[in-house]
Chain A
């Protein structure tokens, strides 16, 4: 009984398979979000999914595959066929696993489709706390080495690198790992850590409510929304490791499909909805990078990170 039906369905499949040979895309494109629901990567993936759907004419269901700093999702992308029907998010924290020796792929294993977001990191403190300026904070750090606590994501991350760069300049602080964003913010709000290393968009609500305030931005030039916040460069600290998010596909995806995806994402990013989303999260206006430039930029970032990891002996 089952066998007959199977045979029938197989025949049907062959017929429909021939008919459906095939303009791209002709079925839903799976978007692997390499982080859990509710975070920045998830918000980005779901925005792209919603905005690119009318452009491509198919659904782009987002599936969250979190774990191992995003590498679980990467493994799944690399296991899929390079046919343009599976793409994934890729963010800075995942990139850091390459120089740390925790990733099992190379930059060359992906088609770097689009860089969708770039955001600079800040040091925030409690507004009603003792530190009004970055100078005061650093002076206190100099006088009491290791006493000030900076809430960050974990050891061996970009947050850790930044704190160590500051230590080298004589401002020794302790990085306290809070892997969950919520716990990280609560620790600074509740006075269990003195400073917070984060991007502005993620702590927007506390900035607007006047509970947190930025002291320094790790960037080359000041951010227009925080014009009075000095940059790390002005303070003589040569460190800009912007958080970035983008969309990648597996190496070997046909070039015309990569281009189709890239064009669709570009169109999505030109919509007013995306502009509002990007502004809400304080993204840099020059976030966009297409398939031609994104890959080269990432390779250069990895070289920088490699150098820093060796310099600070982050890997044993």
Chain B
């Protein structure tokens, strides 16, 4: 313990050095802005800063990327709350509640909650990384694709939470998303599915094209057609409140969200998106007022937002102690390590403690600094509400073009994005909810991969999902999540 504290102390001193600290701040700023810009995702940003990191040492390089990572997963919630355009898929549940709160005139409250719960989740998970990384990593290796599959199924089951009016509509949307996820070259056999000789479909449909198409372009078209609902109060002076006291009544959702974030990020390495959906679903199940979810429920916002940043520390445990990137963002960071000739993995903590603990300390600092930067960013994006809608809409389309292109440097992704934009417009018209579709295309392929691998590894024995205890518990929770609303409706009818 003493040695650990000593290492951490040195780490903090190093991380506070001028260059290192500058990298943290710069990374956070880039991450928050990129995350918030519709069209440019956190992943875009982290890939785009990668070439710059070659010019630096590994520590500032990693601190820059960690800054982008921590800021990026949060940034999307700003534009989600303000404009109903989540910057990244993990901000979808936050948007669901936050935009409602904004429409009720509680913009400052919503932004403040998002900043504070992100920072809290991130901070706790970074401390968890500092103190428990090696033993936790050992524990995490015990989980296999069987457990990962169950967790993803739980995420998919939370669709019952997202479907507001009609479960059937939500399921249509979800299965459509899952189907879109099967298009393209399948990973385990290398076989093309549903490509119909269209060359660009070979690569499949990237979920980012769906996300920014349906949300950002769809929203722009909706505004142009003049069908977007008018706000109750347009709050152009949206100075976020820093609601330290506001958080106290929400302490349990906050704690649960953070715990889910660390667990899902660290155990499955599945990253922020899965944990935000799982956390939101769990919160609704536990909440005493589930019917208020989707109408601007602070608990739902806090739970999803804290789990998003809570997952960052968990995912870093996987990367630093096992050398296994669980999410796309940590995979890029792994690339940064390799280019500097360092293999992240079991030896990193013992062979290069100074570097590792500087990175860990930097992550703790990043989450503290994020409160200030998040505040500034929220303020500046809120002033965008004063910019004429015509200009805003125009640049949203241009950013979506660039963001889609940057995915694979391919025009096909730009076409897909615009196509989904038109689809998003009509989905709004036909009362088909958009979040389940986004969820389906992200979680669907993960579920397929984990399921098939589990089947091959266990001799095609389906019972394995029930005989492994963690998997059994998570699946039981998923079933409860699906059955609960139906059961409640039946009870209401009988009484």
Chain A residues within CB distance 8 Å of chain B:
32, 36-39, 42-43, 46-47, 50, 61-69, 71-72, 75-76, 97, 100, 102, 149, 154-157, 174-179, 182-183, 185-187, 189-193, 204-206, 208-209, 211, 276-277, 280
Determine the distance from Cα of A122 to Cα of B188 in the docked complex, in whole angstroms.
20
Interface string of B33-71 (1 = CB under 8 A from A): 000000000000001001100100000000000000000
A149 touches B457 (CB 8 A): yes
Inside 8 A of A50's CB, which chain B residues have their CB? 54
Q: How many whole Å from B35's CB to the nearest CB in chain A?
A: 18
With A179-B449, A182-B325, A189-B141 in contact, is A38–B345 under 8 Å at CB?
no
Counting from the closest, the 7 A-B pairs by CB-CB distance are A205-B345, A38-B335, A182-B324, A190-B141, A67-B203, A209-B346, A179-B187
Q: Which of B22-30, B142-150, B277-285, B373-381 contacts A (4 or more CB under 8 A)?
A: B142-150
Which residues B109-148 have CB closer than 8 A to chain A? 141-145
Q: Does B191 contact A (CB under 8 A)?
A: yes
B47: nearest chain-A partner, CB-CB? A37
Q: Is B408 an interface residue (CB 8 A)?
A: yes
List residues of chain B with CB within 8 A of the CB of A72. Answer: 202-203, 408, 410
Residues of A close to B322: CB separation below 8 A? 182, 185-186, 189
Assess the B332–A37 pair: CB atoms within 8 A.
Answer: yes
Complex: A155 Cα to B189 Cα, angstroms: 5
Answer yes or no: B372 CB below 8 A from chain A CBs. Answer: no
Chain A min CB distance to B378 (Å): 30
| Contacts A/B (CB < 8 Å), 8 sampled | A39-B335, A43-B335, A64-B47, A155-B189, A177-B453, A182-B322, A189-B141, A205-B348
Does B185 interact with chain A (Cβ within 8 Å)?
Answer: yes
Known: A50-B54, A76-B409, A192-B145. A177 touches B202 (CB 8 A): no
Cβ–Cβ contact B339 & A176, under 8 A: no
The reply to whether the CB of B192 lies closer than 8 angstroms to some CB of chain A is yes
> Shortest beta-carbon distance, A140 to chain B, in Å?
16
CB contacts (< 8 Å) of B184 on chain A: these are 67-68
What does DSSP make chain A's interface, helix, strand, loop or mixed? mixed
Which residues 268-311 of B have a CB within 8 angstroms of A? 269
B75 interface hit (Cβ, 8 Å): no
Q: A46-B54, A63-B409, A206-B345 are in contact. Are A174 and B456 (CB under 8 A)?
A: yes
Q: Which residues of B contact A185 (CB under 8 A)?
A: 322-324
B343 within 8 A of A: yes
B72 interface hit (Cβ, 8 Å): no
Q: Output the least CB separation between B43 and chain A (Å).
A: 10
Chain B stretch 340-374: residues in CB contact (< 8 A) with chain A: 341, 343-348
Which residues of A have CB within 8 Å of B408?
A: 64-67, 72
Asked if A179 contacts B345 (CB within 8 A), the reply is no
- Across the interface, name the chain A residue whose C-beta is closest to B143: A190
Binding site for A on B (CB under 8 A): 47, 50-51, 54, 141-145, 184-185, 187-192, 199, 202-204, 269, 318, 322-326, 328, 331-335, 338-339, 341, 343-348, 408-410, 449, 452-453, 456-457
A276→B338 CA distance, assembly (Å)? 12
A36 near B144 (CB under 8 angstroms)? Answer: no
Q: CA A306 – CA B64 in complex, angstroms? A: 47
The smallest C-beta distance from B242 to any residue of chain A, in angstroms, reads 36
Cα separation A72 to B206 with both chains bound (whole Å)? 13
Contact partners of B192 in chain A: CB under 8 A: 68, 102
Chain B residue at smallest Cβ distance from A102: B190
Whether the Cβ atoms of A67 and B335 lie closer than 8 Å is no
Question: Are the CB atoms of A67 and B202 closer together than 8 Å?
Answer: yes
CA distance A67 to B90 in the complex (A): 23
Q: Complex: how many Å from CA A62 to CA B339?
A: 13
Q: How far is the CB of A98 from chain B (nearest CB, A)?
A: 12
Q: Across the interface, do A154 and B190 meet the contact criterion of CB distance under 8 Å?
A: yes
Q: Which residue of B lies closest to A93 (CB)?
A: B190
Which residue of the partner chain B has the closest CB to A154? B188
Whether A43 contacts B324 by the Cβ 8 Å rule is no
Roughly how many angstroms separate A208 CA and B348 CA in the complex, as a whole number? 11
Decide if B332 touches A186 in the complex (CB within 8 Å). Answer: no
In the bound complex, residues from chain A placing their C-beta under 8 Å from that of B50 are: 37
**Which B residues touch A65, using CB under 8 A?**
408-410
In contact, B452 and A205 (Cβ under 8 angstroms): no
- Asked if A155 and B347 make an inter-chain contact with CB atoms under 8 angstroms apart, the answer reads no
> In whole angstroms, what is the CA distance A191 to B142 when docked?
8
Q: CB distance B141 to A75 under 8 Å?
A: no
Question: Which of chain B's residues has its CB closest to A97's CB?
Answer: B190
What residues of B have a CB within 8 angstroms of the CB of A178 in the complex?
A: 453
The answer to whether A205 and B335 have CB atoms under 8 Å apart is no
Are the CB atoms of A38 and B334 closer together than 8 Å?
yes
Contact between B188 and A206, CB atoms less than 8 A apart:
no
Residue of A32, A102, A175 with most partner-chain B CB within 10 A: A102
CA distance A191 to B138 in the complex (A): 12
**Which residues in B have their C-beta under 8 angstroms from that of A154?**
187-190
A75 and B332 within 8 A (CB): no
By the criterion CB–CB under 8 Å, are B47 and A75 in contact? no
For A47, the chain B residues whose CB sits under 8 A away are 339
Given contacts A102-B191, A179-B449, A186-B324, contact A209 B345 (CB under 8 A): yes
Verify A155–B190 contact, CB threshold 8 A. yes
Smallest beta-carbon distance B262→chain A, Å: 18
Given A42-B335, A177-B452: A206 in contact with B203 (beta carbons within 8 A): no
Q: Give bound CA distance, A208 to B192, whole Å.
A: 39
A141 smallest CB distance to B (angstroms): 15
Q: Closest chain A residue to B324 by CB distance?
A: A182
Please tell me if the beta carbons of B346 and A157 are within 8 angstroms of each other in the complex.
Answer: no
Cβ-defined partner of B202 (8 Å) among A46, A61, A71: A71
Other A-B pairs, 13, CB within 8 Å; known A37-B331, A157-B190: A39-B335, A46-B335, A64-B408, A154-B188, A154-B189, A179-B449, A182-B326, A185-B322, A187-B145, A187-B457, A192-B144, A193-B457, A209-B346
A98 to B224, CA, bound (A): 48
Q: Which residues does chain A contribute within 8 Å of B338, judged by CB atoms?
A: 38, 43
Please give the distance in Å from A51's CB to the nearest CB on chain B.
12
Contacts of B409 in A (CB 8 A): 32, 63-65, 76
- Distance A205 CA – B191 CA, assembled complex (angstroms): 32
| A71 to B54 Cα, complex, angstroms | 27
What residues of B have a CB within 8 angstroms of the CB of A156 in the complex? 189-191
Partner of B347, one of A69, A186, A205: A205
Q: Which residues of B contact A43 (CB under 8 A)?
A: 335, 338-339
CA distance A176 to B202 in the complex (A): 24
A43 to chain B, nearest CB (A): 5
A75 to B192, CA, bound (A): 15
> A206: which of B187, B346, B456 is its contact (CB, 8 Å)?
B346
- Taking a contact as CB atoms under 8 Å apart, the answer to whether A277 and B341 are in contact is yes
Partner of A75, one of B199, B204, B334: B199
Give the distance in Å from the alpha carbon of A37 to the alpha carbon of B332 in the complex. Answer: 5
Give A26 to B47 CA distance when docked, in angstroms.
Answer: 26
Q: Which residues of A contact B144 (CB under 8 A)?
A: 187, 190, 192
